Amino acid sequence: MSEPARRGRVPAVNDKDIRREARTLLAEQGPEAVTLRAIARALGITAPALYRYYSSREDLVAALRLDICAELAEELAVQVAELPDDGVVQLLAICRGFRRWALDHAFEFTLVFASPAGANTSAMRQFDEPFGRIFLQAAGRLLTTYDIVTPSAEVIPETLRANLIGFQTELLAVLAESGQEFPAEKLDLGVTYLMIMFWARIYGHVTLEVFGNYPMAVDDPDVLFDATLEDLARTIGA
């Protein structure tokens, strides 16, 4: 005997529907609004039905992070493609593009770059994802074509060296696995330290601006950011 038809059939949904609703909630209300219950309600299904696709909210958020990083990288790649094949020009353009994107997509920035990575997420994820790869590509061009001024061993704090060596080792492994065009032979401890300091200043500046936490009123934030980039370029001798 065939099973009788059920009343009030559950709407058919797929992974694309789930991510679309998650992105809508994120863009309109912020990361905290992205819950399986809220997505299920928007789709007219029960929350347990979503477990066919995602084992937890963290699993869904990880997928969203990858989607957002891929979109950001694609946007930046289009901008870089129109520029001269110059590592400095491209790297600074990526920094400017990252800032513009962050200001235009504050909730997405918060989810991807200003939320805890989670205990099971590698600290290397930023460099092994689309945005990290395009950042590394420009850095590789810069190292290939410019004589970068790197800090001497004496400048690097002794207590940081073990951490830097660990990061350097992981980064080299990521580069080898991804097949990126990066002059791995130039990735010594000084360059590794420089990369960390460069990213920390760019990320810190953008984060302060996105969350409105400048310690003073700034009439023209563009000028302040450009001044930061110019100072960074001078620091590396470019």
Q: What is the reported pLDDT for 126?
A: 59
Q: What is the reported pLDDT for 97?
A: 96
- The token pair that represents 116 in the structure block: 């805890």
Let me know whether 43 and 120 are in one domain. no
Let me know whether 49 and 94 are in one domain. no
Per-residue pLDDT reduced to its tens digit, 102-155: 999 999 999 998 887 653 344 445 555 788 888 888 888 888 888 888 888 788
Q: With beta carbons less than 8 A apart as the criterion, state whether 224 and 218 touch.
A: yes
* Burial class (CB within 10 angstroms; exposed 0-12, middle 13-18, buried 19+) of 139: buried
Q: What is the reported pLDDT for 138?
A: 86
Per-residue pLDDT reduced to its tens digit, 13-57: 899 999 999 999 999 999 999 999 999 999 999 988 899 999 999
Let me know whether 32 and 120 are in one domain. no
Percent of the chain, pLDDT > 70? 89
CATH number of residue 211's parent domain: 1.10.357.10
Q: What is the reported pLDDT for 123?
A: 45
Q: What is the reported pLDDT for 11?
A: 65
Let me know whether 147 and 124 are in one domain. yes
Let me know whether 173 and 88 are in one domain. yes
Q: What is the reported pLDDT for 96?
A: 96
Residues whose CB is less than 8 angstroms from the CB of residue 75 and which lie 6 or more positions away in sequence, other chains included: 97, 101
Give domain status of residue 150, yes or no. Answer: yes
Per-residue pLDDT reduced to its tens digit, 162-207: 999 998 988 888 887 777 778 888 889 999 999 899 999 999 999 9
Let me know whether 76 and 121 are in one domain. yes
Let me know whether 48 and 76 are in one domain. no
Q: With beta carbons less than 8 A apart as the criterion, state whether 135 and 51 touch.
A: no
pTM of the model: 0.86
Tokens 């492994």 — which residue? 173
- How many structural domains is the chain composed of? 2
Give domain status of residue 194, yes or no. Answer: yes
Range of the domain at 50: 7-54
- The token pair that represents 102 in the structure block: 């962050």
Closest CA to 194 of 130, 230, 131, 148: 148
Let me know whether 201 and 98 are in one domain. yes
Let me know whether 144 and 42 are in one domain. no
Q: What is the reported pLDDT for 140?
A: 87
Q: With beta carbons less than 8 A apart as the criterion, state whether 49 and 10 touch.
A: yes
Cβ of 24: how many Cβ atoms within 10 Å?
A: 14
Give domain status of residue 1, yes or no. Answer: no
Cβ of 9: how many Cβ atoms within 10 Å?
A: 7
